[in-house]
Amino acid sequence: MRVSMGGAVRHGVVLASALAVAVTVLGCHSASATLPVEKTTQAIPQEQAPAQKLRVQKVKVDPRMFGVHDSHLTSLTHRSTRSIRLWDAGVTWPDLQPTARGGYDWTRLDDIVKRARKNRTEVTLALARTPAWAAASRAHRLPTDAPNLTKWSRYVKAVMTRYSPKHWGYLGIANFQIWNEPNIATFWTGSPKQMAQLIRTAHDIRDKVNPKAKVIAPSMVARLSYQQRWIKSFYRISLGGRPVWKYVDAAAFSMYPVDTYPVDPSKPNGATRPATPEDSMRILAQVRALLRQDKVRASLPIWNTEINYGMRTGAMGGQAAAPINDDTQVAYVIRTFLLNAAQGIRRVDWYAYDMGNLSAGLGGAPLGNTLLTDPSDQAAGTLTPAGFAFTRVQGWLKGGTLVGTTTRRPCIVDRHGTYTCTITYANRSARVYWNPYGQGTVTVLASSRTKTDVLGTTSPITGGSRLHVGDQPVLVTSPR
């Protein structure tokens, strides 16, 4: 979400007032229930065509879902970093080509791509920010202004060509994302139509010079009403007789919730609580509704290209987040990836792996409240408990398949607000339980043998016993 003005220097963002908390669209289901058993039905008359059998909804998680932003690149020493999104990394257009006649400086980007390759980390590059010399209008020469299309084309072609398998030796940059958060004026002051033109141009260049790479739609913030209006106006655009979404391989959103929500949704001016990963999923539901209204194909992948919690809005926008304790941060990381995986989100890029403290005037603490590394020394990359949880949740999902029902996605919430994520593996199965806002009680399967907490401590559990859960997820495992 931050602005990259000359390398990794960052500035605060002031946003509009928050949306009222959305009504959840997640279904209800008993936390301790197993999947329904298909019942025997009467024989179908021979002349009647059999009804199509409904399929249980399942998700096999791609390891590349686990992504980060990291300008200091210490994440590229950990194999758990399966993908990296380059924003605030000193490799935007003005960083690569500061003048019209000076050529490109590939030094920084080459180094990142090589280090990512060594760590088996997939790279996404945000193509964004207009150099003053490349602006479409002499009167509008800010990095947020629309670029001249010819100059944009040359830039995109140069980057895509350089990191293509033909020229680089392998797919150095796998994904090219067109701009960052154009639905807020901090990053884009052009029109939705101009943004669509940039995407179409990049799409056509990709097809010619680097067809194995993906073109990703702009990441758009979605937590405020004016941002959602921009999303809707953008995805209804057509160019060359084709809707804009047909020029991208995935839609992308920054799924930050607002910093707080009412404890009681019926009392919007009452007591508040900190935002949670479950609030982010309600924003996802709103985004999907907007895409359906614009007739975007339901199978178009969705990427969550920025996520953290506690980000301020309104008059407090850009100020440090209110802190939360380590246990809550650990729970947020694990729940974020479980919930996004269950919803079929293909990429989740944590913002940011190396988040540091803001200036004293902005509160002296980090912009977000869930930190993967120690913010007092960004360059050291010292993992926090939440940083270890980033790796731990990958272990919970590795080799597994999230399983829902024929009518509900995995990670089902019951009427008491308790979640159950069912995971099947080759030789065992597991269920992850938690209740984000209170206490829940579940009856574990009779075959249950062990339970594992968010810190990785495993202990025996009696099959068929009752388990009390709160906001900390618990993994309960059974032999297959």
87 pLDDT above the threshold of 50: yes
Same domain, 451 and 379: no
CATH number reported for the structural domain that contains residue 319 in this entry:
3.20.20.80
| Contact by Cβ (8 Å): 351, 1 | yes
Domain containing 297 equals: 63-399
Return d(Cα 214, Cα 219) in angstroms, integer. 14
What residue type is assigned to position 241 of the chain?
Answer: G
pLDDT for 291-345, tens place per residue? 999 999 999 999 999 999 999 998 999 999 999 999 999 999 999 999 999 999 9
Q: Please check whether residue 13 lies inside any domain of the structure.
A: no
Q: Please check whether residue 23 lies inside any domain of the structure.
A: no
Same domain, 157 and 244: yes
Q: Please check whether residue 157 lies inside any domain of the structure.
A: yes
Same domain, 362 and 340: yes
Q: Please check whether residue 27 lies inside any domain of the structure.
A: no
Q: Let me know how long the chain is.
A: 480
Return d(Cα 368, Cα 351) in angstroms, integer. 8
Longest dimension (CA), the chain: 77
Same domain, 310 and 165: yes
Q: Please check whether residue 18 lies inside any domain of the structure.
A: no
- Contacts of 241 by beta carbon, 8 Å cutoff, 6+ apart: none
Q: Please check whether residue 57 lies inside any domain of the structure.
A: no
Q: Reduced to 3 states, what is the DSSP secondary structure of residue 282?
A: helix
Q: Which pLDDT value is given to residue 1? A: 63
| Contact by Cβ (8 Å): 223, 174 | no
Same domain, 302 and 431: no
Domain end call among 399, 431, 455: 399
Count of domains for the chain: 2
Q: Please check whether residue 11 lies inside any domain of the structure.
A: no
Q: Please check whether residue 345 lies inside any domain of the structure.
A: yes
Least confident range of 5-19, 304-318, 340-354: 5-19
- 3-state SS track over 51-93: CCCCCCCEEECCHHHEEECCCCCHHHHCCCCCEEEECCCCCCH
Q: CA 225 → CA 54, 189, 190, 244, 264, distances in Å?
A: 36, 18, 19, 22, 21
Q: Which pLDDT value is given to residue 10? A: 38
| Residue whose C-alpha is closest to residue 434's, from 31, 40, 27 | 31
Same domain, 200 and 86: yes
Same domain, 325 and 471: no
Q: CA 29 → CA 54, 400, 421, 444, 451, distances in Å?
A: 18, 22, 11, 15, 22
Domain end call among 348, 373, 399: 399
Return d(Cα 478, Cα 445) in angstroms, integer. 8
Same domain, 170 and 84: yes
Same domain, 240 and 267: yes
- 314 against 459, higher pLDDT: 459
pLDDT for 403-421, tens place per residue? 999 999 999 999 999 999 9
Return d(Cα 230, Cα 225) in angstroms, integer. 9
What six digits make up the tokens of 446? Answer: 């009779």
Model's pTM, two decimal places? 0.89
Q: Which pLDDT value is given to residue 53? A: 77
Same domain, 118 and 197: yes
Same domain, 463 and 356: no
Same domain, 450 and 317: no
Domain end call among 333, 367, 399: 399
Q: Where are the alpha helices (DSSP H) in 294-325?
A: none
